[in-house]
Every structure is written in C-alpha cells, then in structure tokens.
Amino acid sequence: MSKFRIFGGRNFESFSEDPFLTGKVAAAYIIGLQEKGIGATIKHFAANEQETKRATIDVKVGEKALREIYLKPFEIAIKEADPWAVMTSYNKVNGTHTDSNNWLLSTVLREQWGWNGLVMSDWGGTNSVAGSINAGMNLEMPGPGRLRSVDAVKSCLENGSILESTIDNHITTILKFLAKANASSKQQTRQERSVDRPEHRRLIREAGGQGIVLLKNQNVLPLNIANLKTVAVLGLADMCLAHGGGSATVNPHYKITPLEALRRELGDVVEVSYSEGTQIRRVLPVMAEGLHDLDGKQGLTLSRFTSRDVKQEPSSHSNCATAATPLMLRDPSLAMSLEGTYTARETGSHYLSLQSLGPTKVYLDDDLVFDVQESCDDALAYLMRSRPGVLGRYNFVQGQKYRIRCESKAPSSLGSQGPLALLAGKPGMWIGFLTQQVVEQDLLCDAITKAEHADLALIFVGRTAEWESEGQDMDDMKLPANGSQDRLIEAVCAVNPSVVVINSTGGPIEMPWLNKVKAVIQVWFGGQESGNSIVDVLLGTVNPGGKLPMSFPKTLQDSPSYANFPGDLSKLEVDYGEDVFTGYRYFDKSPLGLQFPFGFGLSYTTFEMDVIDVDSASLVPEGKITLQIRVRNTGSRYGSEVVQLYVQKTRCPKEEALKQLSAFKKVNLKPNEQRAVEMSIDQGSAARWDSSEGCWSMDKGLYEIVLATSSAHTSAVINFTVKETYRFGPGNRINARHSCL
C-alpha cells in the first residue's frame, strides 16, 4: 500500500499514485480475502516509498501530505475493510522508527481510526524493546524475537521502562488474533500443496488482459491477420515477465511467453520470426552446468565449519546443486567451502562473478580468481541476487576439467543493515558464469534483418526482476540496459514503418521513440498467463480496458519527486519536498512534462458520457451528492470505460492540489449500448487536511465535480457549494462551525 514514487524499486507492488484509488482497491482486496477466512496484513505503515537505506532513512514529511497522501490509503482500508493486521515499515517518520512511533501506532491507528487488530514488525524491522512495546507494536517478526527476547522484556519490566499491564494488552491482542485464525484448532494441518486449476488459469489470463493499457494506436491494433504474411517478434518476447523481484517473487505452475502464445495463435497463417535483439542482463546466472562434486555427483561439495578457519576439519559435508550456497539462518557454521570440478563446454575467456556475505576466495586449479577481503556492503542485494558483485574473466579450454575451491567466512559485520542483521555472522556466496560467446554476441543486426523483411514488427521491452525489485531503487526512467532496448526500437523503426512496442514494467519509462512507432501497450507484470493475456489484446480477443494508475512523465526530470530522491544520505534523511503535489496533483499545475495522464487508457471502441441528473447542489456535513451518469459505447466492439469523478475548488489556494479523485466506476458495454450509472461524492472523498486545526475540512465556497476519463480529459463539470465551513475528524466527529472537536 506504499505510494508510487518514480524511483521506487517496489513500484510494481504499489496499487497507485493516488491515495483514494489505493485505499479503495486495498479495501476491496481485503474484504474478498477475509470473507474466505484468510487474514490480511496491510503494509508498510508508513511512508515507505524507497529501498535506498530503507532500514535507517528518516522520512521528513509535513502532516498535510502525510494525512492526505501517505496515510489516507491505510485509513480507507482500516475503516472499510478492518484487516486483521498491520505491518510497520523499516524507515523512520519524522525522527522515529515506525515500530516505535507512538503517534502512528497508538494515536492515529488505534485512537483516531478506532482499529484494534494486531501490529507486527516487518522481518527484522524491530528497533527497540521498550519503545516498540509502549508504542503499540504487538509482535516482532520473525519469531522467536531477536531483539524482544524474554530476557530483554524482563529487564524492561524490572527497570520500569514498560508496565506489566502493557504486556497484558499485547498478549490479549495476540490471543484474539490467534482465535481469529483458529490457531488452537486440533484439526490436522494440511500439507502445503500446489493447486493448478483451469478456472484459476482463466482468471489470471482474464485479469492480465483487462489490466493492459493501450497508450497509443495508429490504426494498427488489433492486428488484422488477413493482411499479414510475416511478423518479426523481437526483444523480450521469449521471456514471461510475470513479476518483479524480491519477496514478491513466487514460483508459478508454469509460464506462458508472448512468443509461445503468438506462434500458437498465428503459426498456421502467418510466418513468425524471432530475434532477441538486445541483452539486458544485469547479473550473471548462477554457475550450474558442468559441475561435479568430490564424489562425482552433479553440483559441488558443500563443507561447513564451526570456526572461521576453513583449514580445520569441517563439521559436515553435503551436495550443493549449484555454485550458490543456501541461506543458513539457523546454522551455527561460521565458514563454508565449495569444492569440485568444472568441465568447460566451450573454449573462451568466459565471464565470472562473485557475491558473498563475508571474506571469500575462489580458486580455479591453483589460480586465485577472486579474493574479497571485506564484508558485504549491500546484504539485501546479495539476498535478492540483484547486483553482479565482483566481476572477472578466466581462460577455459573446451573439454578440460578445472578444480574449483571456494572458501567463504562469515562477515564480522554487515554495517548498518537493519533487518539484515539477521544475516550477520552467517557465511554465504554465489558464483555467476556465462560464456564469452553469449556475452559478446551481436544481437541487433539479426533483429534488424528480420524486421526489414516483415510486414510488422512487435518489439517486447521492459525490466526483468533483476532490474525492478525489492532491495534496490531504480537509477532512472530508461529501459535497461545502457540504452540497448531504445536502440533496438530506433533501429527497427528505421527499416520498418509498422512497429508496435509492448512494454512490461511496473511503472513509467522514457519513450524517445514514441513518435516513430504505430502503437504502444503497457502490459505490466501479468503473471504466469502473461503471454496469453498480451496476445489476446494484440489480436483483439480482448479489448484493452486498463487505465494508468499513475502518471507517466516524459523524462525523469519531469517527475515531482525527482529533486527529492534519495535524500541526504550523509544524514540519512529524505525530504518529501513535493508535499501534496504528487502524481497528477503535480502535473495539474505543471502539465508540460506529462506524457500520459493518470487514469488514461485507449480502447478498440469509443465512448461518450454525460451527466443526466444531480440530486443536490450543495454538500452538507455527513451528506453526499449523487450523480446519474449516462455512458454509451459508440463504437463497434464490446468494451469498458472507467468513469472518474474528481472534486476541485473553483478558487484553489496555492498550497492545495487543484483536484483529487473522489469516485470511479468501471462500465462494460456492448456496441451502441448505453447505461446510466450512479456515483456519489461525500466529505470523506472531497475534504482536505487542515494542519492548523489538526482535522479534515470542507471550506465554504464553490466547488466542481469533474466528470472525466483521465486526470487530463474532462467530459463535463458540475458545480456545487459548501455553504458553511465544517471540519471533522480525526475521529470523524462533525463540527459545522470553525473549530475541531
């Protein structure tokens, strides 16, 4: 539920740049989940929008922006869906870590919002004993408590820094949580299993297709198969970009690539050629093929040592399938080694890499290839395998065997790693490998040749989980790597006038080639059925109905958070200097840098809509204004439109955003079908935070309800008035005068 900011490595996990949309989507998700008896935990509470120094960074944010932008999604989800649990974030907010932030956990979450569920830390995200207990953080994760051990809690009780009654309250909350989860049931726990059902496959495919956003279309989509003899499929089409990296990574039952789906659908009538065209590899793949351990089995021999001296007798031996050691969080070993042989399959100066937690040496025969003497400075990158580490090359001869020995010691310290203190004192390493031929091959020329002889070029671009992942923020808004994907598009456009770009990322990219291509679709990370979902849209089996949940700037410099990221790392502070002017709230006042607006998305059909009735011309305390809106499909295809209502004040103070999303509804219509939909706005969706009074406010004056298809495309404007200023909250009590209760 963290808010989308342009550099965020976990943007693909965020719902939106808009707090209202984020809160409403989250609430619907939670309700559906908990109706099945499965508890939801919402995270990360709060202001956790960057991975850079996420465990120690102090987010400086004003109360107005905090309430309207960063806390609002949580408030909506808490009040409308009542999730079982809330997870705190790693960072500080205005000087205090969130797990120990009494204002966030007790004042806002429990007192003002009236919630009484369980608060847990993120994994390793507990920063104090007495502070977190007194603030209202119930449960340290993972268990058993690393910081809040039995002895540590007893010590705090004895010195009076926490009270026994406070512990009792925490225990009561945890027991209530366990009762909800039926944790005391004597029923036998079912073994975890993989369930792959046809209805699940259909749902994933349908959801993926409906979420695709058509950004540009110059009469090329959907594809007219009758007019095509040859199609060049280029770029990342042979990958299924199902998800981003980090803890969001899951193991699907299968993955359908776009290339596979295209060949299945077009193979009998259209010639489909493929070329990769570009390399966007960030890290070398883990060394696996050609390895044999000391017993001749595939893999390497893993030896563990109880001291940091790898010359002593090991405590145990086992087989390791690849040149990557397993995580040993509960293993007391302080050093490890990998031994065996590698048989070269090709001659060449091949590429190697090493990532390790502690000091590590790697030998090939008697040659010392890597000698890393320092402890890892980015343990999260090690954990996520998102950085290449130390790089090197070695001359191999085909068919020759090479002895491998890798020796790695536990790090003496991982520095200020916050949650990754869990890895302190634990050895670990992985070795990457790729042949010279694969790394240095020219892919672009082959792609150009195939595109030149095709009727149409479909170029698949995006970011893999190596580039868009938990544990790292993005360096820029460009497609990786080093401009290679942009060069592929430009080169193909020079030889083929019919180019469609299919982009798979979790957020905006710069598009220097936008005016040269016929169409662009944003396909996100569509899960295991991603290839099928994309091809459904390309062929017109599915009419794209997705809308952008965030604004797309033209360049990185046009983004509102550009100047404020990553903050002053010498002070470990980041200033949310854009205040409330995030996303479309910023572009409403600075539109020149906007490429595609929030809420935007084209269709293979067309729509018209207008307001046919409004039940009130004024908004009163605890009241609402209801509109009847007529939506008509004026095209020739079945499709969907998302009706959007924004509220804005006619005369907007400069410290206020011009407008804010206050209602939305998706409408599905057949060709020439029309329907009246009812939508309402109320004080909760229209009010602004008054920092001077410490509450929500609807100021006296003239307002407008903007009926739109995006934040930048208006269909109609309806006026209404607020006759007298009234304020309410934080406990939702109304005061129609001029002070806050």
Query: What are the residue numbers of the active site?
Result: 122
Identify which of 71, 145, 87, 98 has the alpha carbon closest to the alpha carbon of residue 120. Answer: 87
The answer to whether 741 touches 635, Cβ cutoff 8 Å, is no
Q: What is the DSSP letter of 725?
A: -
Report the distance separating Cα 89 and Cα 418, nearest Å. Answer: 12
Write the DSSP assignment of 200-211 as a string of letters.
Answer: HHHHHHHHHHHH
Residue 67 backbone dihedrals phi, psi, to 5 degrees: -70, -45
Cα 52 versus chain centre, distance: 15
| Apex 391 CA angle, 569 and 302, nearest 5 | 105
Q: What is the DSSP letter of 736?
A: S
| Apex 30 CA angle, 28 and 36, nearest 5 | 110
CB atoms within 10 A of CB 311: 8
Q: Which residues contact 191 (CB under 8 A, 6 or more apart)?
A: none
| Apex 97 CA angle, 94 and 101, nearest 5 | 80
The verdict on whether omega for the bond into residue 730 sits within 30 degrees of 0, i.e. cis, is yes
Q: Quick one: the chain helix, strand, coil %, rounded to 5? A: 25, 30, 45
Identify which of 545, 731, 550 has the alpha carbon closest to the alpha carbon of residue 19. Answer: 550
The answer to whether 340 touches 301, Cβ cutoff 8 Å, is yes
- 3-class DSSP state for residue 176? helix
Report the distance separating Cα 484 and Cα 492, nearest Å. Answer: 12
Report the distance separating Cα 22 and Cα 24, nearest Å. Answer: 6
Report the distance separating Cα 54 and Cα 57, nearest Å. Answer: 5
Report the distance separating Cα 97 and Cα 81, nearest Å. Answer: 26
Q: Which residues contact 494 (CB under 8 A, 6 or more apart)?
A: none
Identify which of 98, 114, 40 has the alpha carbon closest to the alpha carbon of residue 66. Answer: 98
Write the DSSP assignment of 220-238 as a string of letters.
Answer: --S--GGG-SEEEEEEGGG
Helical packing angle, 150-159 and 164-180, nearest 10°: 140
Report the distance separating Cα 130 and Cα 147, nearest Å. Answer: 10
Which residues on neighbouring strands pair with residue 336, listed in sequence order?
304, 408
The answer to whether 86 touches 1, Cβ cutoff 8 Å, is no
Q: Which helix (H) or strand (E) holds 607?
A: strand 607-614
Report the distance separating Cα 725 and Cα 701, nearest Å. Answer: 8
Tokens coding 174: 């945890």
